[in-house]
Structure 1
Amino acid sequence: MEPFGNPAVSIVVPTHTERRWASLSRTIRSAQHQTYPAGEVVVVVDHNPAMATRVRQEFPGVTVLENAYARGASGNRNTGAFHTRTPLIAFLDDDTVAAPTWLQGLIMPFRDPRVVGAGGGIIPNWEGRRPRWWPDELLWAVGVSYTGMPTSTAPIRNVWSASMIVRRDAFLAVGGFRTGFGKLGDRNRPEDTELCLRMSAVNGGHWMYVPDAVIDHEVPRSRSTFAFLMSRCYHEGRGKVQMAGLLPKEQKLGAEADYLKRTLPRAFVRGLAHALMGRGGFHALRAVTVIAAVLAAAWGGGVEALAGVLEPTAD
């Protein structure tokens, strides 16, 4: 790797539909206006040639590629990452806006050669009001930082691909994101968590979370409903069971266990206590929402586990 004083970085932005054109445009502009400038901004379009042509026409300073793999975000990101030649590769989603100092903040942990990757704080940009019944501990369901994460720069098991930076050599060593295991249609599998675990396992490296390296993440009204949250928790439960099946037996999902044993019970107790103290009925709704989220995730995990048992006898 180059001396830390000036490591070159590329930014990869996956996209797939022109319905997100306005937000993609904001993402690209934010990537181009970093205080620590990227050597290359790469936009990868997922099997949409017309959109790829439009990006080339309207953003001539950007490298535009088309997904070389099967449809899905994992192949999209890999296409861009494998194209780059810089020692560091950063990722942004097409519905985010990076603060000007985002990239500068994310490269700082790489002073430590043991760091294989880092991620930054993600702030929700709600379309309309945030639902008052939504607990802070469940904000991960809309892809943003949540209560329970570190509040200052610290080691972390995994980060999100919406705001991620990796060492190129470590990323290539594991073959990048696992294609076919990610977000596609109504399936929501944790391809970024799975990548983080594989990269850490290669040489004992670790990840860092930099909450001050922030991006805004759009949250549309369609994702501000109780039905969406329950669906998201259900699919997260299924995805975590699938991910566990890909991991070595000795590699446990300790972060998930701690979240269930500590973070969510505290959220429930706090919501209930605040409601009983007369601080607002929405606190009671937050407590109930925590229970409902756990049940939805358990249901999804149970469905996936049962599917795994039945699959060998499907013939």
Structure 2
Amino acid sequence: MQDISTECAVSVIVSTFSPAHRDDIIEIIQSMQTQSSQSFELIIIVDENRELFQEYCDYLEKAGTLNMRCLFNPDNKGLSYSRNIGIQNALGEIISYLDDDAVPDPDWVAQTIISFEDDGVGASTGDIIPLWEDPNDEWFPRELYWMISCSYSLTPTEFSETERGFGANMSFRKSVLDEIGSFREDLGIRPGKWVGGEDSEMFLRVRQSGNKVIYNPKSMVHHKIPHRRILLKSLLKRAYNQGNTIAKMGKSESYASGNKSTEYSYLGNLVKDFIPEKLREFNRIALYQLFVVTLVVLCTGLGYIQGNFSGNTGEKNTQ
């Protein structure tokens, strides 16, 4: 068993660019200061916004945080590009990622280290719990939590192997990334364009390399969800883009037909459990949930069809 209980076992990477997340970044810094394990470094990558970069640098200096630093990225070429900068600058054997609006549980670092005690583990993920901006949004069906990067209906409940996780809470063994390559930069959110899937594609590559992906429910983060993210227009746009992303990934070597099990299981779960359950309940909330889920599935399918006819082919990132 490899010893990863070093002074810096985990490099935590957070990419950000918007002043709107200023308070969220400060909360991440404060939450990292109170982690039960301090065997980590925090790297905050600020894309393009030099003023914001300097503000975070000043905050860290005043806070006296020796294991936290900021990096400035002058070219905002998208989330994958920024995440790859984190890989290049990381000191830890484990590289972990948080979204800039996610808050880690106090034991998050400690539990992440536990996830990698088996040398055969190449990646891990954990529970992602929504923090609703508006408590009234709790009607949102768990079957659609994947749209807000939170643990959803197919997420395991116990420590176990899994197929993939979400970028809001994901970790990788650095030696495995050295072997399989960095994040695909043709995938991932970038200015003016939403193409996701870089996190899923990376998890699939880890598994194809013969390494395990572990789900640890105690490696927990809380993901802030603003009301606008579950407005119907936003949901349908994201669903369409997600279908496009799946189609694009399907044209790459790392997304072979055998790796579509999650999508098939999801659709099977809807038909077998969710739809009959909502029809039995037959109240206003249940019927609206059913309506929204149906529209999302249809829009995802339309995006997938369009993506297959677009002629785009995914290329493996060789950076």
- In the superposition, the TM-score normalised over structure 2's length comes to 0.89
What SS does the corresponding residue of 1:214 show, helix, strand or coil? strand
What SS does the corresponding residue of 1:149 show, helix, strand or coil? coil
1:302, CA displacement in angstroms? Answer: 1.2
Percent identity between the two aligned chains: 27
Distance 1:28 1:271, change over 3 A: same
Distance 1:172 1:38, change over 3 A: same
| 1:65 partner amino acid | L
Unaligned runs of 5+ in 2: 314-319
What SS does the corresponding residue of 1:252 show, helix, strand or coil? helix
Distance 1:210 1:68, change over 3 A: farther
Do the aligned residues in 2 keep the contact of 1:44 with 1:64 (CA within 8 Å)?
Answer: yes
Distance 1:309 1:141, change over 3 A: closer
Matched, 1:261 2:268: yes
CA distance, structure 1, for counterparts of residue 84 and residue 75 of structure 2:
8
Deviations 1:115-150 (A, max 9, x none): 101111111111112436522111111111112211
| 2:32 partner amino acid | A
Matched, 1:50 2:51: yes
Do the aligned residues in 2 keep the contact of 1:69 with 1:79 (CA within 8 Å)?
Answer: no
| 1:59 partner amino acid | L
What SS does the corresponding residue of 2:251 show, helix, strand or coil? helix
What SS does the corresponding residue of 1:14 show, helix, strand or coil? strand
1:261, CA displacement in angstroms? Answer: 2.1
Report the equivalent of 2:81: 75
What SS does the corresponding residue of 1:183 show, helix, strand or coil? coil
Deviations 1:75-109 (A, max 9, x none): 11111121012211111111011110111112212
Matched, 1:306 2:312: no
| 2:222 partner amino acid | D
Distance 1:73 1:274, change over 3 A: same
| 1:233 partner amino acid | A
CA distance, structure 1, for counterparts of residue 220 and residue 175 of structure 2:
25
Q: Over the residues paired in the alignment, what is the CA RMSD in angstroms?
A: 2.1
Report the equivalent of 1:3: 3
1:197, CA displacement in angstroms? Answer: 1.0
- In the superposition, the TM-score normalised over structure 1's length comes to 0.90
Match of 1:65 among 64, 71, 89: 71
Report the equivalent of 2:277: 270
1:38, CA displacement in angstroms? Answer: 3.6
Report the equivalent of 1:234: 240
Q: Give the ranges of 4+ consecutive aligned residues of structure 1 lying more than 3 Å apart after TM superposition.
A: 4-7, 130-133, 248-252
Matched, 1:224 2:230: yes
Unaligned runs of 5+ in 1: 311-315
Do the aligned residues in 2 keep the contact of 1:89 with 1:168 (CA within 8 Å)?
Answer: yes
Match of 1:282 among 260, 280, 285: 285
Distance 1:208 1:130, change over 3 A: farther
Report the equivalent of 2:176: 170
Matched, 1:124 2:125: no
Report the equivalent of 2:207: 200
| 1:117 partner amino acid | A
CA distance, structure 2, for counterparts of residue 264 and residue 69 of structure 1:
45
1:65, CA displacement in angstroms? Answer: 0.9
Distance 1:139 1:167, change over 3 A: same
| 1:156 partner amino acid | T
Aligned length: 305
